[in-house]
Amino acid sequence: MQHIYLDNAATTPMAPEVIQTMTDQMQHDFGNASSTHWFGREAHTVMDKSRKILADSIHAQPGEMVITSGATESNNTAISQTAHARAALGKHIITTAIEHPSVLQPLKALEKEGFRVTYLPVDENGRIRLADFDAALDDDTILVTIMMGNNEVGSRMPIAEIGERLMEHQAWFHTDATQAYGLLDIDVKAQHIDMLSVSAHKINGPKGVGFLYRDPKVQFPALLKGGEQELKRRAGTENIAGIAGFATAVQLITSEEKARRQTKYLNFKKQIMTALDNANISYAINGDIRPDNVNHVFNLWLKGISTYALQTNLDLAGVAVSGGSACTAGSLEPSHVLTAMFGADSPRLGESIRISFGAQTTQEDIQAFIDTLLPIVKRLMVKQTVQ
Ligand code: PMP
């Protein structure tokens, strides 16, 4: 059976160039980057070169990058460590209702400790309103954490506008750029971002590696304590092969390539919508179609069709899509993102699927997906009418 992978917001396959880099690395440079002998120095050189590539990709300096095990660790560090470090200045944090659990869960823990968290609501397109942000910001605010692009619906947040508003404010500004990094040009200085989280496995790099950018003014105690790696900001022997693979993945995504992918993904959405229109299938998009969204994510409400039935039938036919985000799929919890957009009573919560495209996805894959989807939807529609 042909397998079609349309769950790239969950993770992406490693690019062949990344596998090559990592294989070479594992074969030749196994040293511990902290060792002072030749083997250690070789590993350290790889780290330095990779760190520079990662820093350049967001217009940062190598010394501002903390290499982590991925965006979960970056988000936890950026939120828990800075909130505790700044508690004397205030106890208020601003975020959105549609962040990833690796942002929301540390915030829930902080609330239990007495921090006050404002969860900005979103509109039906998954965007916050700047007026709500302005109303929430006060003298007690020490941290703002707002994602750059959403992993379930692909909406993009007004990051530069928020960065600008916080320039004269004490609050540090963190953004989870995990889904946006491979598609949007990021300039942490121009966008006034103080901290930024990224994960390699969403951009055809390896799993278990990512980074946290931090502006030099941002000081916090390490989450992982022990050795003096990462300028004492993150203890643990460095994952050299992973970091080198991450840097290779980054090098494959030039600014032109990002723009090319954005257009390609937008066209995939149009191809799917045209097919649904032509087949007279009743659907709506959860979110909106805008060229400046993170376009690899496409969340579709197929009216009257259960998410579970559709996802299972697609899986049996060889097509992988998601019923929500990978982190909540599998549990029967409705998506907190769709709940924030449409309310807890919306039928969309149980009748939507997330399709997400990747660098390797072709137009033929999309056609094969459509050819699989349409008969399944028609069959499920009949079944539900009969019941
Ligand atoms: N933030 C967002 C928006 C994500 O989509 C993900 C991955 N699902 C993460 C954070 C967590 O990243 P990682 O898998 O590297 O821990």
Helix orientation angle between 255-278 and 363-386, rounded to the nearest 10 degrees = 40
How, if at all, do strands 210-214 and 195-199 pair?
Answer: antiparallel
Regarding whether 335 and 260 lie in a shared domain, the answer is: yes
Does residue 193 sit in the same domain as residue 332? Answer: no
Residues 214 and 280 in one domain: no
Residue 346 CA to ligand 1 centre (angstroms)? 26
CA nearest neighbour of 66 among 210, 237, 163, 186: 210
236 and 286: one domain? no
Q: Are residues 137 and 172 located together in one domain of the fold?
A: yes
Question: Over 90: is that where the pLDDT of 328 sits?
Answer: no
Q: Looking at residue 316, what is its pLDDT?
A: 97
Which residues face 354 on adjacent strands? 299, 322
Q: Which atom of ligand 1 is nearest the CA belonging to 201?
A: 15
Looking up residue 195, the CATH number of its domain turns out to be 3.40.640.10
The secondary structure of 266-282 as a DSSP string is HHHHHHHHHHHHHTT--
What does the alpha-carbon distance between residue 245 and residue 253 come to, in Å, rounded to a whole number? 13
**Structure-block tokens of residue 246:** 């991450």
Q: What is the pLDDT of residue 324?
A: 63
CATH number at residue 314: 3.90.1150.10
| C-alpha span between 276 and 282 (Å, rounded) | 8
Say how many Å lie between the CA of residue 110 and the centre of ligand 1.
20
Q: Is 210 in the pocket of ligand 1 (CB under 6 A)?
A: yes
For the segment 84-91, the average pLDDT, to the nearest whole number, is: 97
Question: What would the mean pLDDT of 163-186 be, rounded to a whole number?
Answer: 98
Q: How far is the CA of 377 from the centre of ligand 1 (A)?
A: 30
Structural domain count of the chain:
2
Instruction: Check whether residue 114 and residue 227 sit in a common domain.
Output: yes
Q: Which residues pair with 107 in a beta bridge?
A: none
pLDDT in tens, 14-66: 999 999 999 999 999 899 999 999 999 999 999 999 999 999 999 999 999 99
- Closest Cα partner for 104 from 152, 169, 56? 152
331 vs 103, higher pLDDT: 103
Mutate to test the pocket of ligand 1, among 72, 155, 322 (most ligand atoms within 8 A of CB): 72
Q: Which residue has the tokens 């040293």?
A: 31
68 and 185 together in one domain: yes
Ligand 1 atom 16 nearest Cα: 72
- For residue 276, give its domain range: 4-12+254-386
Of 209-218, 260-269, 309-318, 319-328, least confident by mean pLDDT is 319-328
Residue 144 near residue 173 (C-beta atoms within 8 A): yes
| Closest to 370 measured CA to CA, from 269, 291, 248 | 269
Query: Is residue 326 predicted with pLDDT exceeding 50?
Result: no
| pLDDT on residue 228 | 87
- Kind of pairing between the strands at 319-320 and 4-5: parallel
Give, using CA atoms, the residue closest to atom 4 of ligand 1: 178
pLDDT band at 332 (very low <50, low <70, confident <90, very high): low
Q: Average pLDDT for residues 356-381, to the nearest whole number? A: 96
The atom number, within ligand 1, closest to the CA of 69 reads 15
The answer on 45 and 121 residing in a single domain is yes
State the pLDDT at residue 386: 59
Is the CB–ligand 1 distance for residue 8 below 6 Å? no
Kindly give the number of the ligand 1 atom that is closest to the alpha carbon of 325: 8
**Closest protein CA for atom 5 of ligand 1:** 151
pLDDT tier at 323 (50, 70, 90 boundaries)?
A: confident
Q: Give residue 210 CA to ligand 1 midpoint distance, Å.
A: 10
Residues 307 and 174 both lie in one domain: no
320 carries an active-site annotation: no
Helix (DSSP H) and strand (DSSP E) numbers for the chain? 13, 12
> Is there a single domain that holds both residue 222 and residue 99?
yes
Q: Whose CA is closest to atom 8 on ligand 1?
A: 10
**Considering the entire predicted model, what is its pTM?**
0.96
CA of 381 to the centre of ligand 1 (A): 34
Pairing of strands 195-199, 172-176: parallel
Residue in the block written with tokens 């022997």:
237
State both tokens at 319: 């097509």
Residue 308: both structure tokens together: 């579970």
Of the candidates 232, 251, 270, which is a domain's last residue? 251
**Ligand 1: which residue has its CA nearest to atom 9?**
71
Looking at 229, 251, 273, the residue that finishes a domain is 251
Q: 151 CB less than 6 Å from ligand 1?
A: yes
- Mutation pick for ligand 1 pocket among 8, 159, 178 (CB with most ligand atoms within 8 Å): 178
CB distance 70 to ligand 1 below 6 Å: yes
Residue range 203-252, pLDDT digits in tens: 999 999 999 999 999 999 999 999 989 888 999 999 999 999 999 999 99
- First-last CA distance in the chain: 31
Q: pLDDT over 70 for what percent of the chain?
A: 96
Mutate to test the pocket of ligand 1, among 202, 246, 336 (most ligand atoms within 8 A of CB): 202
Q: Is the CB of 234 under 6 A from ligand 1?
A: no
Of ligand 1's atoms, which has the minimum distance to the CA of residue 9? 5
Instruction: For tokens 């690796």, name the residue.
Output: 102
Which residue, 218, 235, 251, sits at the end of a domain?
251
Of 327, 368, 370, 380, catalytic: 327
Please report which residue ranges of 57-100 form alpha helices under DSSP H.
71-76, 82-85
Distance, CA of 204 to CA of 109 (rounded, Å)? 32
pLDDT above 60 (res 331)? no
* Residue 310 and residue 370 in one domain: yes
For residues 362 and 300, membership in a common domain is answered with yes
